[in-house]
Amino acid sequence: MSFKDPSGSCGGGGGGGAIGGRDLGKLAPEEYIGKTKATGHMQDAVNLLLEYRPEQPLVFLARFQMMCGDLGPVEVSAYYIQSCGSVTNTSFEDNMVLAYHALKKGNDPVDVSMFQQLLHVLCEDVPSAPNAKLVNHLAPTNVPVSYAKFKHAVEVCLLYGDVISEGEDLFQSIDTANAGEVKSSVLVSALELAGTKASTPNVELVLQLRDALEQVKCDDGNSSISLAQFLETVAFAAFPLAFSSN
């Protein structure tokens, strides 16, 4: 199937309003489908959908259409990773292999600069300062990128994305007026409540966030914090925890 080789075409026909000198609009339905090779393209999309069973099928199909264009190695690699939906998806391991090889040129090793670009794409929701720190830690210059290193880095970036998303959800659940900022004291109380409900891996992160905001509250009992400031605090708090098992 064509999706196994994302650097090639996806079975679609060329653009333009005519094929072989004939106006596409004047062709019979069957002839139109045959001339444009749309059947093969759609079959590839359906086969891919059924094989990987993504959690968001319409988003997955939209990304498949994007992959059929002239995408570079970084975009194709990101496509394979993001189409999984989450690390718990049964297709995750297969897609990691495809994503890794998308960055390779033949037998050459993965280019570190492209690897860094990929991680920046995967961490696009992480605030810029912790984003840069994270990528520099995961993909230091002049260090070979093995598959194990690649997979670990991707998993960490996806973890960060989940953490940032949960932090944003928590903030917005408090900021009911959409003011863009909330009282630090209220956020501390919300984190204390979240800590009692968090799963074991998240408890330490919640406690670190609470301690960081407690310090802000002690400095100024009436202080407020914006969403951007809170998410940056979340990202920096999560950084040491992401590598504590290494």
* pLDDT score, position 191: 76
Of 3-7, 17-21, 63-67, 204-208, which range is least confident?
Answer: 3-7
* pLDDT score, position 165: 83
> CA geometry: angle at 151 spanning 102 and 143, to 5°?
85
* pLDDT score, position 13: 43
For the chain, percent of residues with pLDDT exceeding 90: 10
Tens of pLDDT, residue by residue over 209-224, are 777 776 655 555 567 8
pLDDT band of 115, cuts 50, 70, 90: very high
pLDDT band of 168, cuts 50, 70, 90: confident
Upper half-sphere CA count for residue 104 (Cβ side, 13 Å)? 16
Tens of pLDDT, residue by residue over 152-167, are 999 888 888 888 888 8
pLDDT band of 195, cuts 50, 70, 90: low
Tens of pLDDT, residue by residue over 40-96, are 767 777 876 787 677 778 877 776 665 556 678 898 889 888 877 677 777 788 788
pTM metric for this prediction: 0.62
Q: Are 234 and 209 in contact (CB under 8 A)?
A: yes
* pLDDT score, position 114: 94
**Helix count and strand count (H, E) for the chain:** 11, 4
* pLDDT score, position 8: 41
Under CATH, to which class is 141-245 assigned? mainly alpha
Q: Are 157 and 134 in contact (CB under 8 A)?
A: yes
Residue at token pair 């999706």: 3
> Is the model's pLDDT at 97 over the cut of 60?
yes
**Long-range contacts, stretch 51-58, CB < 8 angstroms, 24+ apart:** 51/91, 52/83, 52/84, 52/89, 52/91, 52/94, 52/95, 53/89, 53/90, 53/91, 54/83, 54/84, 54/85, 54/89, 54/91, 55/85, 55/86, 55/89, 56/85
* pLDDT score, position 19: 44
User: Which of 23-27, 102-106, 147-151, 178-182 is the most confident on average?
Assistant: 147-151
Tens of pLDDT, residue by residue over 101-112, are 888 877 788 999
83: which DSSP letter? T
Select the more confidently predicted residue: 36 or 133: 133
Query: What mean pLDDT is predicted for residues 175-197?
Result: 80
Domain ranges of the chain: 33-108, 141-245
Question: Chain centroid to CA 46: how far?
Answer: 22
* pLDDT score, position 200: 46
Question: Chain centroid to CA 56: how far?
Answer: 13
3-state secondary structure of 220: coil
Q: Which H helix or E strand runs over 196?
A: helix 184-197
Which residues, other chains included, contact 227 with Cβ-Cβ below 8 Å and sequence gap of 6+?
168, 171, 172, 175, 180, 181
Select the more confidently predicted residue: 201 or 58: 58
* pLDDT score, position 139: 92
